[in-house]
């Protein structure tokens, strides 16, 4: 196995709060190990185009508190092709990069896996996504901050919902996963969460809302995952079948991805960034860093991106009981 002297770090796909804390941790611990660090800008797209600059300890100072990613990010169609990945690999060779730290979600890590399958490059993935949908880790970097952002928004929506006796369908991100909807519903005391992992039919929904009304609450909040038509779809159906309800929709959108990372995300990102360098030093290759029961773990990237991460049924139960 080749000794590592130089690494590259990139962020790819949707940004998430805490990515900068992870870049900082990777950079500083690699320099501490005596390695050279290159920042690759705009994700895979930037690697294809050679947007590469050396990072120093100073380049990452005053970044731990900043949302977004100082390395920028992109979604790259070209990298999905073998030709695109070959172009990307040529830049890794040009800069003598022995290992690549990839910070991103499912799509970004799947791309990393393909690159490592076709070319000789050591990869370590860091789970960076607000969706929390990567198998093998209890938390992804950015999820906690997004959850708190959603909770704050729903608290505000509740004020107006209560004043007007309205039912609000609040749509949140998560792509194919319901972690954000499910857990923000618990945190904000909502009546229900509609998530892709559970089938919710319209009668069930009416019974959730009816519960609220029976409790003499004339307003209700339902968190809805963005998949399958999202909040608009359910709002329209409730409007059509239960015209007695005054229904509104609020789609939170990209504000969920922004903002200064929470303490939890800053610490998680710092731990994972340091762990990525430790893993390379130990000779680990093609793994993703995860956290399980507050302990750092290594998961083969192939597992992290292929296996569906289940939603804990205990959480469904908590929401069910507390919203009655
Ligand atoms: O994966 C992160 C995420 O924010 C998803 O929750 C969402 O579906 C998607 O990215 C939105 O992507 P874009 O910013 O490209 O519209």
Give residue 241 CA to ligand 1 midpoint distance, Å.
31
Cα–Cα distance for residue pair 79/85, rounded to 1 Å: 5
25 burial (CB, 10 Å; 0-12 / 13-18 / 19+) is buried
Task: Tell me: pLDDT of 49 over 80.
Answer: yes
Average pLDDT over residues 78-92: 98
**Nearest atom of ligand 1 to the alpha carbon of 257:** 4
Q: What percent of the chain has pLDDT over 70?
A: 98
Ligand 1: distance of its center to the CA of 147 in Å? 15
Check if 131 is active-site: yes
- The confidence score (pLDDT) of residue 199 equals 84
Topology classification of domain 144-257? Rossmann fold (3.40.50)
Token pair for 8 = 């590259």
**Ligand 1 near 43 CB (within 6 A):** no
Q: Is 131 in the pocket of ligand 1 (CB under 6 A)?
A: yes
CB 225 within 8 A of CB 172: yes
* Token reading at 257: 């991805």
Check residue 212 and give its pLDDT: 66
Asked whether 97 and 10 are in contact (CB, 8 A), the reply is no
Cα 210 to averaged position of ligand 1 atoms, centre (Å): 33
Write out pLDDT tens, residues 136-147. Answer: 999 999 999 999
pLDDT score of 274? 98
Contact call for residues 122 and 30 (beta carbons, < 8 A): no
Torsion of CA 189, 192, 194, 197, to 10 degrees: 90
Model confidence at 73: pLDDT above 80 = yes
pLDDT at 1 (0 to 100): 67
CA angle 33, 34, 39 (to 5 degrees): 90
Q: Rounded to whole angstroms, how far apart are CA atoms 75 and 272?
A: 23
Domains 6-142+261-306 and 144-257 share a fold: yes
The domain limits of the chain are: 6-142+261-306, 144-257
Count of CB atoms situated within 10 Å of the CB of 199: 8
- Taking only the tens place, the pLDDT of each residue in 177-232 is 999 999 999 999 999 999 999 988 777 777 777 776 666 667 899 999 999 889 99
**Angle at Cα 72 formed by Cα 71 and Cα 74, nearest 5°?**
130
Report how far residue 131's alpha carbon sits from residue 191's, in angstroms, rounded to the nearest whole number: 21
pTM of the model: 0.96
> Do the beta carbons of residue 306 and residue 133 sit within 8 Å?
no
Q: Which CATH class is domain 6-142+261-306?
A: alpha beta
Strand partners, 252: none
Give the mean pLDDT of the chain: 95
């Amino acid at each position: 196995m080749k000794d590592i002297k130089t690494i590259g770090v990139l962020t790819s796909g949707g940004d998430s709060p805490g990515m900068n804390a992870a870049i900082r941790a990777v950079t500083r611990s690699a320099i501490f190990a005596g390695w050279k660090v290159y920042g690759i800008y705009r994700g895979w797209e930037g690697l294809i185009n050679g947007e590469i600059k050396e990072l120093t300890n100073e380049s990452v100072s005053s970044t731990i508190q900043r949302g977004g990613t100082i390395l920028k990010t992109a979604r790259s169609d070209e990298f999905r092709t073998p030709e695109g990945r070959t172009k990307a690999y040529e830049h890794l060779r040009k800069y003598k990069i022995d290992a690549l730290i990839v910070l991103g979600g499912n799509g970004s890590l799947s791309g990393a896996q393909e690159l490592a399958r076709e070319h000789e490059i050591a990869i370590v993935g860091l789970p960076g996504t607000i969706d929390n949908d990567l198998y093998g880790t209890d938390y992804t970097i950015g999820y906690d901050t997004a959850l708190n952002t959603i909770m704050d928004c729903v608290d505000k929506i509740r004020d107006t919902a209560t004043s007007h006796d309205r039912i609000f369908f609040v749509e949140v991100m998560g792509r194919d996963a319901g972690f954000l909807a499910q857990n923000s519903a618990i945190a904000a005391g909502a009546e229900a969460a509609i998530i892709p992992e559970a089938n919710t039919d319209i009668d069930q929904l009416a019974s959730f809302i009816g519960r609220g009304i029976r409790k003499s609450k004339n307003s209700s909040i339902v968190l809805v995952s963005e998949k399958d038509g999202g909040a608009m779809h359910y709002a329209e159906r409730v409007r059509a079948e239960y015209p007695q309800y005054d229904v509104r929709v609020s789609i939170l959108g990209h504000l969920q991805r922004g903002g200064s990372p929470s303490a939890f995300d800053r610490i998680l990102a710092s731990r994972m960034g340091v762990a990525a360098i430790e893993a390379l030093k130990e000779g680990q290759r093609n793994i993703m860093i995860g956290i399980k029961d507050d302990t750092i773990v290594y998961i083969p990237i192939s597992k992290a991106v292929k296996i569906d991460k289940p939603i804990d049924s205990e959480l469904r139960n908590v929401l069910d009981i507390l919203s009655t």
